[in-house]
Each structure stands twice: as C-alpha cells, then as structure tokens.
Amino acid sequence: MEIGLNHYLVLSTILFAIGLVGVMRRKNLLLLFFATEILLNAVNIAFAAISHYYGDMTGQMFAFFIIAVAASEVAVGLGLLIVWYKRHGSIDLDVLTTMKG
C-alpha cells in the first residue's frame, strides 16, 4: 500500500482529463476559466509529486510560478470578460463569433 510517484501522476492525469472535458463542453466563458484552473492545478500536483520523490526543489518552484501566472491570468481575464459583458450582454462563446467572413 505504498503510495508512489505513479499514483500521483495517474491522479494528475485524471484531473487533467476532467479539465479538458470541461474546456471542450462548456460554452460559458466563466466556466471555461474554471476548467482552466483545474488544468493548472492538475499540473501542480504532478510537479509537487516529482519534487518530493526526486528530492529536488525545482518542481515546487515551478508550481509557485504557475500559481503566480494563474493569479494574474484571472485578474486580466475577468477584466476583459467584464468589458465584453458590458458591451454585448452575454459571455457565451457563440456571441464571440464576430469575425465571420
């Protein structure tokens, strides 16, 4: 019953697949952002597990920078989303197809 690196990698893969399903089936942009957060967190678990099982700090450092990137992505993305909602009254992906030829 020893938990090894592979357990964590399989868990990370399952979470990543859930996030991908979310990205593909969601139409609401806010919920698409949620799915993106799931993707980032799944990768973070893998980084932390590798960092632990190899006795190396680099994995944790990368996890920190991923968290920083996620935080700034949310700030800018929500700002853009609010601007879009004020202009069009909807954040569905279908409304964004304004560049049809």
Partner 1 sequence: MFEAVAFYLFAFLTITMFIITVTTSQALYALTALAAGMIFISAFFFILGADFLGAIQIIVYTGAVMALYAFGMMFFDTTRSVKEKQGNKFIITGLSTLAAVLVVLIVGAPMVSNNIVALYPTIDGMGNVQNVGLILFTKYLVPFELAAVMLLVAMVAGIVLAGKKMDRSITLTNDAELEIEKNKKVLS
Give which of 63, 81, 70 is closest to 38, Cα–Cα.
70
Query: According to the binding rule CB under 8 A, does residue 96 interact with partner 1?
Result: no
Query: According to the binding rule CB under 8 A, does residue 54 interact with partner 1?
Result: yes
Q: Which helix (H) or strand (E) segment is 38 a member of?
A: helix 29-53
Check: CB of residue 101 under 8 Å from CB of residue 71.
no
Show the binding pattern over residues 1-40: x = contacts partner 1 (CB under 8 A), - = does not: xxx-x-xxxxxxxxxxxxxxxx-xxxxx-xx-xxx-xx--
Query: According to the binding rule CB under 8 A, does residue 88 interact with partner 1?
Result: no
Query: According to the binding rule CB under 8 A, does residue 95 interact with partner 1?
Result: no
